[in-house]
Structure 1
Amino acid sequence: MFTGIVTALGTLREVQPLGGGHDMRLVIGVAPGFLEGAALGCSIACSGVCLTAVELSADSFAVDASAETLSRTTLGAWRPGRRVNLERSLRLGDELGGHLVSGHVDGVGEVLSATPENASVRWRFRAPAPLAPFIAVKGSIAVDGVSLTVNEVDGAEFGVNIIAHTAAVTSFGTLQPGDAVNIEIDTLARYVARLMEFRA
């Protein structure tokens, strides 16, 4: 589990094909200290995708992504040089600054616009239509692994406000309209919807 509070920005160094090119290994460079205490096999959220570290060094780690993961996230389009939002897994006793995030991406959305709004920027996204019922005003959502509060909803489109600090420490500083993003809906919304299916 994660909190959606990005703790580091990594840089994709290498993409290595695996399994006849259907899977791939990603090597991500990190700042010194990010991997302190990490063990082989630990989980790291990479722009919202929970992945297992299969190699570790002082300034990088490698993860393997299966064809299933590549088909349901933005990872299949990643190229060296890409900035990656990183978060180590939540430990009991850690501060829960965002919301509970599983790292299991529900779908790929699209950046529609970024408009300055006072001291922040209003970002608008389009989510896959099946996810629309799970997105609510003042609810939580994870976009590329960043825990955000939904400020507006119009069908499958929704808006959030990004303050300067968030833009500086996440990949929001380099996102552009038309870019694809990983979206994870709030786990609570998922269970409420499931319960509603069984109401008499």
Structure 2
Amino acid sequence: MFTGIIKSVGKIKFITTTQNTSHIGISTSLTKQIHTNIGDSIAINGVCLTVTAFSKHGFEVDIMPETMRRTTLDNLLAGQKVNIEPALLLSSRLDGHLVLGHIDTIATLTNIIFETNSRTLIFKLPVAYTNYVVEKGSIAIDGVSLTVASKNNTLFSISLIPHTLTKTTLENLKIGDQVNIETDILGKYILQDTEANYDEKY
């Protein structure tokens, strides 16, 4: 379980790909700040992965084919920056919202609006996931907990304050880039229950 509050921005050191898995090394100072062990869960751009090894300046993870197919991790390149969040401790403050690290879909950045003290990003979702996004509701984009500013059919927008831009990789997004999307788990359960009751009634 995660909160969507990014603790560090790391950098991809290497990517080794075989037929069945990809092995990735990530450089970060995060391991010096928290008690992370081999076997612990950690979110990379919002994707829940398992720490398999440590190096002098970071850690390593394995990524299964299913994860590569359903997320943007398949597009990672050496030198690219990624958002990092360790798993939530039961004693931690829940500053963002409950994030599982299980990516629902991929969205595409269609427009960027620069404002005086913020930046608005507009994304396009696959039609199948539009009902899971609610205006003023929570959403995780590349692992970052954010609030949906507006929604119109398959498009939705979020606004970023300078702090979020400097502490995450979202500042580097360009039009056409793809991001990992995890919708709010509470909304999923409510929508599923509503649909189940409708099916049972009719």
Q: Which amino acid aligns with 1:122?
A: T
CA RMSD of aligned residues (A): 1.2
What corresponds to 1:2 in structure 2? 2
Look up the equivalent residue of 1:10 and give its one-letter code: G
Moved more, 55-64 or 134-143: 55-64
Report what 2:117 is aligned to: 119
Q: Distance in 1 between matches of 2:31 and 2:46?
A: 21
Find the aligned partners of 1:31 and 1:156 in 2 and give their Cα distance.
38
The C-alpha deviation readout for 1:119-174, integer Å capped at 9, x for no partner, is: 10111011121110010111000000000000100111100000111000100121
Name the CA shift for 1:60/1:35 in 2 (closer, same or farther; >3 Å): farther
How does the TM-score come out when normalised to structure 2? Answer: 0.94
Matched residue, 1:13: 13
* Pair 1:65-2:70 in alignment: no
What letter matches 2:152 in structure 1? D
Change (3 A) 1:167 1:47: same
Residue in 2 that maps onto 1:180: 178
SS in 2 for 1:85: strand
CA offset digits 1:166-197 (Å, max 9, x no partner): 00010012111100100000001100111101
What is the one-letter code of the residue matched to 1:97?
D
- The match for 2:47 is 49
Kept in 2: contact 1:9–1:83 (CA 8 A): yes
Return 5+ residue gaps in structure 1 as ranges.
Answer: none
| Residue of structure 1 in register with 2:138 after alignment | 140
Contact kept, 8 Å, 1:32 with 1:58, in 2: the verdict is no
Q: Which amino acid aligns with 1:17?
A: T
Instruction: Say if 2:8 and 2:84, in contact at 8 Å, map to a contact too.
Output: yes
Deviates more, 1:81-90 or 1:52-61: 52-61
The 1:132–1:162 alpha-carbon spacing in structure 2 relative to 1, beyond 3 Å, is: same
Contact residue 2 and residue 100 of structure 2 kept, 8 A:
yes
Counterpart residue type for residue 169 of structure 2? S
- Post-superposition offset of 1:32: 5.7
Please list every run of 5 or more consecutive structure 2 residues that lacks an aligned counterpart in the other structure. none
Q: What is the correspondence of 1:80-119 to structure 2 with a 5 Å cutoff?
A: 80-119=78-117
Q: 1:52 to 1:196 in 2, by over 3 A?
A: same
Shift of 1:58: 3.9
For the residues of structure 1 that align with 2:162 and 2:30, how far apart are their CA atoms?
24
Q: Which amino acid aligns with 1:125?
A: F
Q: CA deviation at 1:198?
A: 2.4
Identity %: 36
Deviation at 1:33, TM superposition (A): 4.5
Give the structure 1 partner of residue 163 of structure 2.
165
Whichever structure has more helix as a proportion of its residues is 2
Q: Retained in 1: the 8 A contact 2:8–2:30? A: no
Cα 1:35/1:44, change in 2 over 3 Å: farther
Report how far residue 56 of structure 1 moved: 1.2
Query: Normalising to structure 1: TM-score of the pair?
Result: 0.95
**Inter-CA distance 71–112: structure 2 relative to 1 (3 Å threshold):** same
Which 4+ runs in 1 deviate beyond 2 A? 32-36
